[in-house]
Amino acid sequence: MARFIYKYGAMNCGKTTQLLQNAHQYTEIGDKVLILKPAKDKKGDTKIVSRIGASQEVDYLISPRDNIIRLITEGDNVLTSCIMVDEAQFLTPTQVEQLRIIVSKFDIDVFAYGLRTDFKTKAFPGSIRLMELCDKMEEINQSLCECGEPAIFNARFVNGKMVTEGAQVAIDGFDSVTYKPMCAKCYYLKKAVSEEKPLMRSKKKHNDLH
Ligand SMILES: [Zn+2]
């Protein structure tokens, strides 16, 4: 019986590397694998690129309006044994439902690799639906916070300064945005510092003098 697996983790946890290895195992035994990526992820253009430099051209870039069931029933795509989705948090909830139907109706394994939460620690709409509909969730816990603890959150930096406000989606490397995987302790400590008002800071300094 085909399965719907959601593999999640913080940024830089090795999701794409795992996807490429997993896809290789399928193709090695002669199975057809389709690799999908939401078009929202502008990084790497039509490729998925792992941290260690391995990359592969995707079969389809998925726009929010695309129907994945329709895509699977086109041409010889129905002969696919497995679908792998990179950056699956960017799928719409409807597209996650389409994947669920594909697993059950066409007996195709689906592996969705993605983030659980955004830079505000809130789940992406696609991630929520993945958690609700998958057969199994597996955490990929390979990214470390700078303190050495396992990272579970993704802190956003704009021009090197941590931010906790802004649009849910801002792609790493575009518009001076970067991300750092963080443990919860560091995330909340740094969040408090970044949100500290200049007035409070000077007051604190004033108190320190007395
Ligand atoms: Zn930490």
- What CATH number does residue 55 fall under? 3.40.50.300
Mean pLDDT of the chain: 91
3-class secondary structure, 61:
strand
In angstroms, the Cα distances linking 13 to 116, 140, 160, 186 are: 12, 6, 21, 17
Quick: pLDDT tens for 13-47: 889 999 999 999 999 999 999 999 999 888 878 89
Answering whether pTM is above 0.85, one says: yes
Instruction: Examine the pLDDT at 194 and tell me if it is beyond 90.
Output: no
Q: What is the mean pLDDT of residues 112-124?
A: 96
Is the confidence at residue 207, as pLDDT, over 80? no
Active site residues: 87
The pLDDT, as a whole number, for residue 141 is: 83
Whole-number pLDDT of residue 75 = 85
Q: What is the pLDDT of residue 140?
A: 93
What's the rounded mean pLDDT across residues 120-124?
A: 96
Residue 204 lies in a domain: no
| Enclosing domain of residue 70 | 4-142
Total number of domains constituting the chain: 1
The pLDDT value recorded for residue 210 is 46
Asked if the model's pLDDT at residue 197 lies above 80, the reply is: no
pLDDT for position 54? 85
Residue 187 resides in a domain: no
Question: Is 189 part of any domain?
Answer: no
CA of 183 to the centre of ligand 1 (A): 4
Average pLDDT over residues 180-200: 87
Q: Is position 100 within any domain?
A: yes
How many whole angstroms from 191 Cα to the centroid of ligand 1?
A: 12
In a domain, 185, yes or no: no
User: Which residues line ion ligand 1, judged by CB < 5 Å?
Assistant: 145, 147, 149, 183, 186
32 inside domain = yes
Check pLDDT > 60 for residue 154: yes
Separation of 187 CA from ligand 1 center, angstroms? 7
User: Residue 28: inside a domain, yes or no?
Assistant: yes
pLDDT tens track for 66-84: 999 999 998 888 889 999 9
- 188 found inside a domain: no
CA 95 to centroid of ligand 1, rounded, Å = 34
Q: From 111, 83, 86, select the one nearest 14 (Cα to Cα).
A: 86
